[in-house]
Amino acid sequence: MSLDIRMELTKNPKAKPQDESKLGFGKIFTDHMFMMDYEEGKGWYDLRIVPYGPIAIDPASTVLHYGAEIFEGMKAYRRVDGSIAMFRPDENGKRMNNSAERLCLPEIDPEMWLEILDTLVKLEKDWVPHSEGTSLYIRPFTFGNDPHLGVHAVHHSTFVCILSPVGAYYAEGINPVKIAIESDDVRAVRGGTGYAKCGGNYAASLRAGKRAEEKGFTQVLWLDGVERKYIEEVGSMNVMFKINDEIVTPKLTGSVLPGITRKSCIELLKSQGANVSERLISVDELVEAAENGSLQEAWGTGTAAVVSPVGWLSYQGKEYEIGGGKIGETTQHLYDTLTGIQWGKIPDTFGWIHPVC
């Protein structure tokens, strides 16, 4: 496929961040962004790369009233041989289309998806940071853009992709975070939009996240929305535990996000002969394991979070320390192997790396 992308390049390129240790997450954006519009019956049109900046939206637009929005999160890495590559962007494309189907937003052809990402990342390649632990975060999103207030599936949409040089998602970096198990608010229910990557899921999570932060926790761990009994996921990542040498992660019941880092960790661990199960994990089982010492490790997985150790969990006013509040061996192994493959320090025997330039 060779797309017809109109190029409007900036006349005022921004200075690139000098001190990459201060990048943080999603605060700085590159010079350009990709945009295209969609109309039912016509498809995607007016593909363009334009200077990064505010976009005009009709005040009656569907996204502003009914939250018709989906997004993805992925990264481009500067590898040790100097090349730039993405990690499993085809998987993000598939998930984006599954989210689109759920929210009645238009899907994007897989080849078109890759060509858009390749073109934009290649143009902005000098923005991919150089330091260890940094990358160029890619945030594609589609929103419903019909300028009227009836509650219907949309006929007009806009797709945008922005890029941001990033460091670690958490201020803690690779040091263990403190997570509060949330027993009041729920993030998603089966049959709802939990498996889709849509803005509304994150909007629903903000109140509990704010309360947890006020109490000194980094994020919350969600329980299922029906029985409030089974572990689902953390605010911005999936979660895994090592209990009695078994690695367990909540199974994808429909209300859990099918994370690509989650999937990669499972595939990696299984290929190395580890005992991994995707199953229901009740909060009672987890608390019991924390109390009797069989909970050896806990960590989160996500594009932004990479592999992040969880050192403390709190539930109903009680706090449990995991692995002495230190990163465990499986967590460290996953972090080292995944980032090693991404940065080109370890051979990619899985075919996960997508070279850009």
State in angstroms the smallest separation of the CB of 202 from ligand COI: 6
In the list 205, 303, 331, 337, the residue contacting ligand COI (rule: CB under 6 A) is: 303
In the list 134, 236, 308, 337, the residue contacting ligand COI (rule: CB under 6 A) is: 236
The answer to whether residue 142 forms part of the interface with ligand COI (CB under 6 A) is no
> How many CA within 13 A on the CB side of residue 272?
12
State in angstroms the smallest separation of the CB of 121 from ligand COI: 15
CA–CA distance, 51 with 67 (Å, rounded to integer): 26
Q: Decide whether 51 or 200 has the Cβ nearer to ligand COI.
A: 200
The answer to whether residue 302 forms part of the interface with ligand COI (CB under 6 A) is yes
Q: Decide whether 156 or 262 has the Cβ nearer to ligand COI.
A: 262
State in angstroms the smallest separation of the CB of 83 from ligand COI: 22
Compose the 58-87 pattern: x for residues touching ligand COI by CB under 6 A, - for all others.
---------------x--------------
Amino acid found at 231? I
Q: What are the φ and ψ backbone dihedral angles of 313, each rounded to 5 degrees?
A: -125, 140
Q: Decide whether 243 or 298 has the Cβ nearer to ligand COI.
A: 298
CA–CA distance, 319 with 242 (Å, rounded to integer): 18
Whether the CB-CB separation of 281 and 250 falls below 8 Å is answered with yes
CA–CA distance, 250 with 248 (Å, rounded to integer): 7
State in angstroms the smallest separation of the CB of 123 from ligand COI: 21
Q: Decide whether 119 or 236 has the Cβ nearer to ligand COI.
A: 236
In angstroms, the Cα distances linking 226 to 10, 186, 211, 229, 311 are 50, 9, 22, 8, 27
Q: Is residue 102 exposed (0-12), middle (13-18) or buried (19+ Cβ within 10 Å)?
A: middle
The answer to whether residue 300 forms part of the interface with ligand COI (CB under 6 A) is no
In the list 49, 231, 268, 304, the residue contacting ligand COI (rule: CB under 6 A) is: 304
* Secondary structure class of 297 (helix, strand, coil): strand
Structure tokens at 77: 């890495």
- The count of chain residues that interact with ligand COI, using the rule CB under 6 A, is 7
Strand pairing report for 74-78 and 135-144: antiparallel
The answer to whether residue 168 forms part of the interface with ligand COI (CB under 6 A) is no
From the list 2-10, 214-222, 300-308, 310-318, the region that binds ligand COI by CB under 6 A is 300-308
* Secondary structure class of 136 (helix, strand, coil): strand
Binding site for ligand COI (CB under 6 A): 73, 202, 236, 302-305
